[in-house]
Amino acid sequence: MSADTATHHDSASPLVGRTAELELLDKVIDQLGHGAPPFVDITGAAGIGKSRLMTELCLRARRRGVTVLRGRAAEYERHLPFHPFADAFADLDGRLPHAAPDLLDAVSPVLGGRGPGPSSPGAVPANADRFGLHRSVAGLLAHVCRPGGLVVALDDVHWADPASLELLDHLVRHPVPGPVVLVVARRDRQTPAALTAALTRGVDTEAVLRIALAPLAEQECVEGLAPDLPRGRAAQLYAAGEGNPLYFLSLLHAHREGAARRPTPSSASSWAEDSVGELPTGLGALLLNELTPLTASQHRTLEAIAVLGDHAVSPVIRRATGRTDAGLDDDLDTLARRDLVRPGPNGRWVLRHPVIRTLVHESTAARRRVEIHRAAAAELARTGAPAVEQARHVEQSVTTWDPQAYAVLREAAEQTASTAPTSCAHWLGAALRLLPDTGEHGPERRDLMLRRARALGVAGGLRESRDLLHTVISTAGPDEAGVRTSAVVLCALTERHLGRYPEAIALLRRELSRQPELSPSDRVSIGLELSSSAPHNASYPQMRGEVARTLADARSLGNELGEAGALAVAAFGEAYEGGVAAASSYAAQAAGLLDGLPDDDLTALCEPLGRLGWAEAFLGRFTDAERHADRGLGIARRSGQVYLLPLLLLCKAHVRIQTCRLPSACELADEAEDIARGIGSSELLAFVLANKAQVRIAASAPGDPEALAAAEEAVASMGPSDNWRASMAWCMLGYAALTGGDPHRARDALLRAGGDDLRGLQPSMRPLLSELLVTAALFTGDVASASAWSERAREDAERLGLPVQRASAMRSAAQLALHGGDPAGAATLLAEAAAECARSGAVFWEARSLLLAAPAMVAAGFAARGAAMWEQGHRLATGGGAGLLVGLAEMTRPSVPSSPSPAPPWLASLTAREREVAELVAEGLTNQAVAARLFLSPRTVETHLSRVFRKTDVATRAGLAALMARS
């Protein structure tokens, strides 16, 4: 709203005290876009002054030319999606047309339509998804912030709807770029735990500035709010109110109205007794005293405003109260003069404070509330308001079967299904309560329950979804086989997301045992889901038979979709296990079928598209993998299959790591994390975080703490599981620890993932993971273990025959060659590794191989070639945003003399690592300092140094320094 319509946000009361808080807020405004925190969290008890402080912030921001958007969540509108954001965006006053049309379309669920009252979501684009919507809202805020900055102030967010809470969580973790600050005000004890956790994480990372409001000091309170009151009486009122300004003002009002003689609590400590919700009893009594002088019609008008909330506009109030225009105007004028109501935006009326609304609402007779809601529903229906706006009033006023009300609730659910699934599930639950529980309506009830289970699943209510699906399964009749099969498959998928693989497999096998009742197509659907348990719980070899049966059933039916799905599962399983020939054949067949089918036919095959993409990525077919992941993403978004997006996003991110396109890989991993946190599956989140750690390791400088933090959270989220996703989480923890300079932790994590023989690791990735163990072993001076891991990597790579894995085995062997003093042999191996990677398009590994080869080439006497390899590797690393490799380049930059002279024999006998140690010791560094510089352990430095002394035939550090200086 504009400054002229801000009165309903408490700007009428004076601001008292809060000097320190205002200084902090002034600093935030002055430093917008230049180091100011992107989020401010104002907390405190009811009536403590949060709204008044926020109002002052908004006024000061406007005076500086900053755009201000202000919205408020409401206690009784918690199922209107994006309510506080829609309220805030109503302040844009025609500035939106300057935004790009596609951006406006994307954020339409938040901007909403324009019915009676504030904006609220209307029809949602068919391809909308709530996580894309979050990014679009951030884009809109970035657009609006130009040129003078933007403050988005959201009040009472402890009452925010789930969709708004999810959007806030996104904006905390991904601050809007530019001069933008979001300010929220909330009550601590009533704030949902998820929002509190998100804001606390932001405080820890300094992305959130928290301002906790304490009670006012007595002098500030009395002098600022009651300077004309006798000192003794003012002190009594302050003591009763304990520094809460709203309570003090209410006591003051009662005193001046001659009501102070009425019994009031002697201390705010008694507020909680007999309270309405969390409202203080003493405060409630004082505020209700204000209503005593009202006439019956004024009281009815006030009740209507409290119950209607955002729909408290004159036409709806008039219908709810039965007043004439003139009579209603008289009532509103009187209520406004008594400062009980204030004009708000878009012609609506609001009560002076949310506390007053709660008191009036709860003291209104239940039958009267029903009448008001019924009148509001009728008026909104008459004016053609969106179903989402009508639904709240319908739900509160209709308790018996009413086809028209039922239709409104179903339409509201459809309007919110893709962007606010919690609201969708709520409206479907309300529709189920209306629908008679009779045999006639049984199939429709089960269809609604199935829809509600889907909404709950994507909203994070996995357990409630599973319970509802069990009800559908147990009550479906013999003529509802399709509904039962859909429920069984969805229930198994939900069990998978909960990490309950044995339960998922048992459910599916039990359903397959009902073969006489199962249609062949149902058997294919169940067989595909059962096959999907590999390699998460059952190994793929255990599932080969089931995959083969499903494939045969699909082919016998001429079911191309089922055939393509089974082939994709087979391709993924064989690729995971390292069966390269079989995987290649299955992948080619699956791609041939899927590529020939139109998108509309593939709605049920998004997960197989993801599995095919991952299989192709494991096989080094990066272009095909990304193409199939992209197609799956488009179909999953359009069809609302949100739970499949992380699988597809991470497949694409994995490809972009391999092909060295790290900035976009980071964006994909971040989006996958947003979705996984929204779905609420700890196992899915662990898988996402493990992949995010891999991306962060590659994209960041060595030792990046964010990469290690993501890997640690992945392990913690996975818990005691030991399946594929758990092993991946532990592997990424090992990878992050190794790049952070902790080889011991790296080795322990990798062995925890795969066991002493690494048989618990993904066979098709073992050479790459063995390379990490080789590096860790050499860092710790365990040459025997390094040799064993290198040999195992060679054997696994030969068996696989995949270029990236062969290159990895060559790098492992090269590390041993360098350690053993054979730079020429190491250089040859690393050059071959770079060529292998280049042939397959694995640019990241090509660059790594080149950067490792460069110093080996120089040490072997091929300085010019070494320099060229370093230049090429450095160019690939910087062009791809690979911070890890850029850091490696700095450590391996070759130093090529302009006129090279023959090196002394003793110098040529040193390995590259021994020469590095010798040079640093000659500079005067201690063993500990050398270890820190080279990311080695002190013991490893001692080992290298002893070899240097033996090869150079000197016995002291000073002698070595002199020898190096002469050379």
pLDDT at 967: 59
pLDDT at 960 over 80: no
Lowest model confidence (mean pLDDT) among 474-478, 661-665, 730-734, 781-785: 474-478
| Cβ 629 vs Cβ 656: under 8 Å | no
Six-digit token pair at 197? 């956790």
State how far Cα 238 lies from the chain centre: 45
The overall average pLDDT reported for the chain is 86
Distance CA 499, CA 701 (A): 34
- For the stretch 415-425, pLDDT in tens is 888 888 999 99
State the Cα angle at 954 between 953 and 959, rounded to 5°.
Answer: 150
Beta strand pairing call for 180-186 and 150-155: parallel
pLDDT at 116: 36
Confidence of residue 3 (pLDDT cuts 50, 70, 90): very low
- For the stretch 119-147, pLDDT in tens is 444 444 444 678 888 888 998 898 888 77
Confidence of residue 427 (pLDDT cuts 50, 70, 90): very high
Confidence of residue 367 (pLDDT cuts 50, 70, 90): very high
pLDDT at 278 over 70: no
Percent of the chain with pLDDT over 90: 52
pLDDT at 123: 42
- For the stretch 767-818, pLDDT in tens is 999 999 999 999 999 999 999 999 999 999 999 999 999 999 999 999 999 9
- For the stretch 836-889, pLDDT in tens is 999 889 999 999 999 999 999 999 989 989 999 999 999 999 999 999 999 999
pLDDT mean over 212-217: 90
Distance CA 290, CA 253 (A): 9
Confidence of residue 115 (pLDDT cuts 50, 70, 90): very low
Cβ count within 10 A of residue 538: 17
pLDDT at 281: 58
What one-character-per-residue DSSP string does 455-523 give? Answer: HHHHHT-HHHHHHHHHHHHHH--TT-HHHHHHHHHHHHHHHHHTT-HHHHHHHHHHHHTTGGG--HHHH
Distance CA 582, CA 336 (A): 78
- For the stretch 167-193, pLDDT in tens is 999 999 889 988 999 999 999 888 998
pLDDT at 511 over 70: yes
Cβ count within 10 A of residue 143: 18
What single letter denotes the amino acid at residue 37? P
Distance CA 804, CA 144 (A): 46
Confidence of residue 1 (pLDDT cuts 50, 70, 90): very low
Distance CA 647, CA 643 (A): 8
| Cβ 180 vs Cβ 210: under 8 Å | no
pLDDT at 516: 67
pLDDT at 243: 84
| Cβ 790 vs Cβ 815: under 8 Å | yes
| Cβ 116 vs Cβ 193: under 8 Å | no
Torsion of CA 717, 721, 725, 730, to 10 degrees: 70
pLDDT mean over 744-772: 90
For 740, phi then psi, to 5°, come to -90, 5
What one-character-per-residue DSSP string does 363-414 give? Answer: HS-HHHHHHHHHHHHHHHHHTT--HHHHHHHHHHH--S--HHHHHHHHHHHH
- For the stretch 675-705, pLDDT in tens is 888 888 888 899 999 999 999 999 999 988 9
pLDDT at 332 over 70: yes
- For the stretch 493-504, pLDDT in tens is 898 888 888 898
pLDDT at 206: 85
- Best mean pLDDT range from 186-200, 270-284, 394-408: 394-408
Distance CA 3, CA 11 (A): 10
pLDDT at 274 over 60: no
For 69, phi then psi, to 5°, come to -115, 130
pLDDT at 904: 67
Confidence of residue 5 (pLDDT cuts 50, 70, 90): very low
Six-digit token pair at 86? 């829609």
pLDDT mean over 747-764: 88
pLDDT mean over 543-565: 91
pLDDT at 90: 84
pLDDT at 719: 74
pLDDT mean over 33-52: 90
Q: Which residue has the higher pLDDT, 120 or 954?
A: 954
pLDDT at 605: 80
